[in-house]
Structure 1
């Protein structure tokens, strides 16, 4: 047996960690709360780094923290985390694995105890590494309405990361969209808390099934900043925070078992999340029972001093963050140093970090960095299996807003392909995809993945069609010099495909992405003018929007021959879009956000009380969207009907079943997303006009039908009352079912009886569904057992 009991895997983990803590000095404990990011220090790797272009940042205000101590010095008393070894600069799998070994060896040899560090990386659109598969952006995950598919994707991402020595992924983003102008809408799953919760929990299960820790972010309120400005103050009451923003985090913890949480940069009502004990300790740990680690967003701790100005300097900021409940400072140690002196708080955080390391096996006798990357020579980061999964997800996420008169495309004829997103596949990728996130720093380096453009994919999809191409304009800017060529191409064609939208970037280097917020919801640059010019030719124009946020399409809707919303469909986006346009792929994506009608005075999200959602003569501005939440068309037709309730009266601590029939009434196989909503007509506080309570994708052959059964516990009707406690209130509820928030042909009423009751920790968070049919293409029972916090 080893002389060091904390290295003995046969002993209980808690016993091992307590033995280790007892043997550590204060400096060694504090060391476990810090991190080091060599990758931002311009070629700190032993490999030959390509030439770096100045100015591009991959984290906010990165240039203000552009250097740090040597890793040997940073690790003198031990180190908690190693930051972004693969995702900071272009390295091969072999080079990255060698760098993991090199850095871990330095960490272990520089300190007395030789404890390895946790290696973390970004993984929002896939493993953020050179040559790794780029999956669709998170907004596309929401558009699939398919948690099981997202779980499979995350498991694939986790397997690649784990094989290369990465222990923790900084995903998923569970911010509920509140303002479409925010640049990080593309990183979010959607505007409905339940959709975000179920898809986010699925991502967590998938990533952690591969042994990689998932990190929920950004906790909490980040997506609701004033005027949608990144890092802007959040004007939000506690009730909205509890009812809209926080449920996805609670669900991902309880049902996904997430082992880490990242704080938000934001201040909510004047209190920055990184210094909020109520949020990070009282709610997260004392009420929800979370036992994992809270990690800071990058430089969020010094930001408490420099940006929020609630601390005199980094050391004071570190003390505030530690007291609030942040355990690990990322990406470099600035506030968590020798000035931390509260031994009880230091022990609290160090214990959590060491428990996590023990669960990862990093404290085991015989653990070596070399063994952690032993499978690296067998890893193909963009494997055929990964690409197949990326294609499936892309195909499931593209939303046919309106097939109009032009779709599916005829297999022959002449088609003009126009627009800045038609011949640039980088527009299909999110801002955290390696080619958009890191490669702009290295202009001489090409992505090591195949990225077919829309034009290339269309030519392969429809070889008998004559495709011409004209760019027309850039994604951004005011150059209209290409309009004439675009008009000429359109006038010589039978149909025009206008590919417009975004190019993701960071901190103003794109039109979508972190720090790329929009003044309004008109298409960027002169793209709206380009579409208008194409429509003026009189040719049928199919508008395909490739974007990270919904843009207002009301000025085109009545004139376009068809409308398609692709969001950011990833590396296989070109073939997926081509397949939808040709009709080979049956479109089945549904909107996780509304499509506004007007680009100014835009609506809030669908989750609004009556005065926020209805146009009732109180204002000249009509918030009605062009296309509602949950909307999506197919090349077949569906009918949702025959809503049946198991009960007409249910006690406030009971449950009921709502069953609805979904039928394919067309002549092609396809998938419908059956959606169940609740409406609370009278309550002690204003309630949303509608709120999604359950959903289920149903695959049906022509002429087939299926019953979709929703099991609704009364906890699912709960809300935060006037005294800020969550309650189930007696009274009448409307139950509605259909295909979108604006297409709900089925309605019934149920009455909750008995006294109002609290619905606090442990309440039911999900609505299990069961599909019942003998003729289904695929029969699914999506009910999930509650998963305890780990």
Structure 2
């Protein structure tokens, strides 16, 4: 008997999808748009097949947050993956395999998964190749345990440091974010794992820096800035899916906003892939935004607007059949979404190879080489913001007073959405301390009274014996071989140590002890900042701020140590914090969330075994009152519009109570060595629209350390009839040079990178004069010149270029 077309790999994906769709009942179609949590059918470590059959008898779309099954054992998650697939292939009528979906922000978040620095740290490296290699590792490890879809990367343009999820992003710039996002998707999807990029659209640009609040953006910016990374990942890396943002745009949540989904995403951008809800986002349409009278109506609004699937539990999408039967929803809308789901399943080869090899699983997960690579990323991401009197590196024989909450912590330098963060979440759920959890979907799912199983019951997945491991944080951190800064420094220096204070507590007892240690030491290294995750943290989802003050007593600790009149090296973790005084602070390192192996990475920089090479992927304000502040502000609306001195008119000027320029600009970062950029050559300063801008420069390491510099190219179009940003990053190249070494960088920048909406709302490149700038940060511009673009205007919608082509010779 011949195989049906959908089971025959000789046919193309479109034919297989159409054949399978033609065989499906309405109920089977709707189930492909639905999602469940593993806690809905896994109890005490075992699959409850009665529960599985109760929701999966007609097939099913996906299981999400699936990595939870692997918190204790990689063998367990592999075995469970195969058992789940076997059920759907052998026990359902059409044998459609299921998507097993997880987060993967900084690695496969299960036992034996490699943990990497935060995305913001990745952005600070300015090395897209590192992102691709990291993503390949994440993809390999996810695939090895059966996870075939990951909800990453986060490519929100993040311009407000008050927002608690900045660490998940690649920063404030559209071009840098685009390059990082493209490489992340290429890396993951090369390992037969699908990406769902998030959050479409404008999620980070919310009122007051508050999570899920209104996004106030115009149509031009929505596409030019915020949609560009998504479009680029689709066009260049064949992105499989996107996640709709929680937030509101122009009076509607994105999940039921037809103008955003249909007009912008599908029509303008031409995206043919999957669009899923965020966790419990449809519930928010009803309960949070209150624009539907019932949860079921919220689902209908979302489906009619074009939202394909609902996660993490499909409390309303599983009832879409009722709306079709009652003539409130056209079955054609269901069909279009089912096609997108099935296309991904065929693309992943799940119909041919649904099962995972169970033997030798450890060989496919983390190892020392991968951990070393994570350390390398951490090292390359550290940004040296200040180094007065060249106090760093510390090479002399001196006594260091190491102080601060991060100095001897293995957990605090690790990002949220990580293996340790998930363990903290399930611990909190088990201990019924839900009020501490800032993960939106946890609380939202708990509020759905009609769902007896939700995030709130995730801890039920585990056997009682599993908690012997899950409750032992010290063992977990030892198993991933994390080391602290204290452990790494005390092997090289004479060290005096004091915590001084914890991140958020209000206990003054150790501050005096820290002061005594400072007095007894030659140099103070002070670690300050926040921590990240969902439980008892200062940064994360739902952990937004209205100040940039250091948490807890850390400012008081710093002020006390400044009284000791010793040189201070400040290391800032988490995000950016303002400090009230820089007295005695001779050096500042921005560490961010550099991961479990950052102790050695930072110690190498302090010792001079490594040269800091990170560059800021965001602008650092002087105070919270400057927010939002970003380098590529529009002409007339930012600090470059004011100039070095306030304008003399009564209508314009800077702040009357502070400086209006940033503390540190986008792209900034110091080195232990120095560089000279010379011999800048623009091949042709008159360029036809659609052709390439070609330029070259020499760069020489003129110092005594080997080191890396990032050459950055910025652009401003002078003759638009709409207001444009004062400058935009359009190319960059990081280069590593030995002392006295010199190389040439060739940049090729196609003019189709430079498009914008004109006054007629046409996305074009137009003739006119432009300013080309070359520098080492957005403010450190060493060369600029005018170029002339000629020819007829070109509408480049659907024909854009997203990346420059660079070559080092």
Paired position in structure 2 for 1:777:
none
1:397-546 correspondence to structure 2 within 5 Å = 397-405=381-389, 406-442=391-427, 444-446=471-473, 447=476, 448-460=479-491, 462=492, 465-506=493-534, 509-546=536-573
**How much has 1:607 moved relative to structure 2?**
2.0
Corresponding residue of 1:696: 733
Identify the structure with the greater helix proportion: 2
Quick one: which of 214, 236, 239 aligns to 1:233? 214
Moved more, 591-600 or 296-305: 591-600
Give the structure 2 partner of residue 54 of structure 1: none
Find the aligned partners of 1:44 and 1:19 in 2 and give their Cα distance: 39
735-744 or 32-41: which moved more?
A: 32-41
Do the aligned partners of residues 380 and 356 (structure 1) sit closer, same or farther apart at CA in structure 2, a change above 3 Å counting?
closer
Q: Helix, strand or coil: the match of 2:243? A: strand
**Structure 2 Cα separation of the partners of residues 210 and 140 of structure 1:** 23
Of 191-200 and 377-386, deviating more is: 377-386
Deviation at 1:283, TM superposition (A): 2.8
User: Counterparts of 1:646-725 in structure 2 under 5 Å?
Assistant: 646-725=683-762
1:767 aligns with: 804
Q: Which residue of 2 aligns with 1:292?
A: 273
| Maintained 8 Å contact 1:38/1:44 | no
Higher alpha-carbon deviation: 569-578 or 761-770: 761-770
Matched residues in 2 for 1:679 and 1:745: separation?
Answer: 16
Aligned to 1:305, what secondary structure does the other structure show? helix
Among candidates 548, 551, 570, match of residue 577 of structure 2: 551
Corresponding residue number in structure 2 for 1:46: 46
* Cα 1:637–1:43 shift into 2, 3 Å: farther
CA deviation vs aligned residue, 1:634-654 (integer Å, no higher than 9, x gap):
111112233221122223333
Is this contact kept in 2: 1:499–1:544, CA < 8 A?
yes
CA distance in 1, matches of 2:667, 2:2: 58
C-alpha spacing 1:732/1:93, structure 2 compared with 1 (3 Å)? same
Q: Given the superposition, is the C-alpha separation of residues 649 and 380 from structure 1 closer, same or farther in structure 2, using an over 3 Å criterion?
A: closer
Q: Secondary structure of 1:224's partner?
A: coil
Task: State the partner residue of 1:5.
Answer: 5
Shift of 1:706: 1.8
Conservation of the 8 A alpha-carbon contact between 1:603 and 1:625: no
Which of 341, 350, 361 is the matching residue for 1:362?
A: 350
Counterpart CA distance in 2 for 1:375 and 1:139 is 36
* Residues 400 and 563, structure 1, Cα contact 8 Å, conserved in 2: yes
**Please, which moves more after superposition, 120-129 or 476-485?**
476-485
Runs of 4+ in structure 1 off by over 6 angstroms are: none
Secondary structure at 1:496's aligned position in 2?
Answer: strand
Distance 1:249 1:102, change over 3 A: same
- Could you tell me how far apart the structure 1 residues matched to 2:729 and 2:532 are? 30
> What is the CA distance between 1:99 and its match in structure 2?
2.0
Residue 188 of structure 2 aligns to a residue whose secondary structure is helix
1:57-136 pair list within 5 angstroms = 70-87=51-68, 90-136=71-117
Does 2:68 match 1:33? no
- TM-score of the superposed pair, with normalisation by structure 1: 0.90
Could you tell me how far 1:717 is from its partner in structure 2? 2.3
| Secondary structure, aligned partner of 2:412 | helix
Q: Structure 1 residues 47, 33: closer, same or farther in 2, change over 3 A?
A: closer
The alignment status of 1:612 with 2:593, answered yes or no, reads: no
Q: CA deviation at 1:376?
A: 5.7
Distance 1:69 1:700 in 2: 63
DSSP 3-state at the match of 1:86: helix
Q: Deviations over 1:158-207 (max 9, x none)?
A: 01111111111111000011211000000001110000000111011011
Structure 1 residue aligned with 2:782:
745
Cα 1:133–1:111 change in 2 (3 A) is same
Distance 1:89 1:78, change over 3 A: same
Q: 2:341 aligns with which of 328, 342, 353?
A: 353
Give the deviation of 1:146 after TM superposition.
Answer: 0.4
Q: Distance in 2 between matches of 1:721 and 1:382?
A: 50
User: What is the CA RMSD across the aligned residues, in angstroms?
Assistant: 2.1
Mapped partners of 2:195, 2:173: distance in 1: 21
Return 5+ residue gaps in structure 2 as ranges: 325-329, 428-469, 647-652
Query: Does the C-alpha gap of structure 1 residues 243 and 380 become closer, same or farther in structure 2, counting only changes over 3 Å?
Result: same
Bigger Cα displacement from structure 2, 124-133 vs 593-602: 593-602
Instruction: Specify the alignment match of 1:372 in structure 2.
Output: 356
C-alpha displacement at 1:558, in angstroms?
5.8
Alpha-carbon offset, residue 302 of structure 1: 2.2
Q: Which residue of 2 aligns with 1:51?
A: none
Once the two structures are TM-superposed, the CA of residue 501 in structure 1 deviates from its matched residue by: 0.9
Q: 2-side partners of 1:41 and 1:474: how far apart? A: 40
What's the CA shift for 1:131? Answer: 3.5
Name which of structure 1's ranges 724-733 and 112-121 shifts more when overlaid on structure 2.
724-733
Is contact 1:660-1:737 (8 Å) kept? Answer: no
User: CA distance change for structure 1 residues 526 and 41 in 2, over 3 Å: closer, same or farther?
Assistant: farther
Q: Do the aligned partners of residues 637 and 9 (structure 1) sit closer, same or farther apart at CA in structure 2, a change above 3 Å counting? A: same
Deviation at 1:104, TM superposition (A): 2.7
Superposed displacement of residue 89, structure 1: 6.9
In the alignment, the residues of structure 2 paired with residue 248 and residue 276 of structure 1 have an alpha-carbon distance, to the nearest angstrom, of: 20
Matched, 1:574 2:599: yes
In structure 2, do the counterparts of structure 1 residues 44 and 195 end up closer, same or farther at CA, with 3 Å as the change threshold? Answer: farther
Match of 1:627 in 2: 664
Aligned with 1:435: secondary structure? helix
Checking the alignment, whether the CA contact within 8 Å between 2:398 and 2:494 is kept in structure 1 is yes
Tell me the equivalent position of 1:779: none
Q: Are residues 389 and 40 of structure 1, via their aligned partners in 2, closer, same or farther at CA, if it must alter by over 3 Å?
A: farther
The structure-2 alpha-carbon separation of the partners of 1:254 and 1:558, relative to structure 1 and needing over 3 Å to count, comes to farther
Q: Is the CA contact (8 Å cut-off) linking 2:709 and 2:776 kept in structure 1?
A: yes
CA contact (8 A) 1:707 1:771 kept: yes
Separation of aligned partners in 2, 1:626 and 1:240: 26
> For 1:122-161, what aligned pairs fall within 5 Å after superposition?
122-161=103-142
1:590 equivalent among 608, 615, 633: 615
Offset at residue 582 of structure 1 (A): 0.8
- Does 1:316 find its partner at 2:297? yes
Give the number of equivalent residue pairs.
743
Distance 1:633 1:249, change over 3 A: same
Tell me, yes or no, if the aligned pair for 2:194 and 2:348 is still in contact at 8 Å: no
The change in CA–CA distance for 1:16 and 1:624 in structure 2 (over 3 A counts) is same
2:184 matches 1:203: yes
SS of equivalent to 1:427: coil
Counterpart contact for 2:118–2:593, Cα < 8 Å: yes
Q: CA deviation at 1:656?
A: 1.7
User: Which shows bigger deviation, 492-501 or 468-477?
Assistant: 468-477
**1:440/1:298 Cα in 2 relative to 1: closer, same or farther (>3 Å)?**
closer
- TM superposition score normalised by structure 2: 0.88
* Cα pair distance change 1:6/1:47, threshold 3 Å: closer
Q: How does 1:380-391 map to 2 (within 5 A)?
A: 381-391=365-375
- SS of 1:574 mapped into structure 2: helix
Alpha-carbon displacement from aligned partner over 1:22-48 (angstroms, at most 9, x marks no partner): 111000011111111023789463299
Confirm whether residue 732 of structure 1 aligns to residue 769 of structure 2. Answer: yes
User: Cα distance, 1:267 vs. partner?
Assistant: 0.8
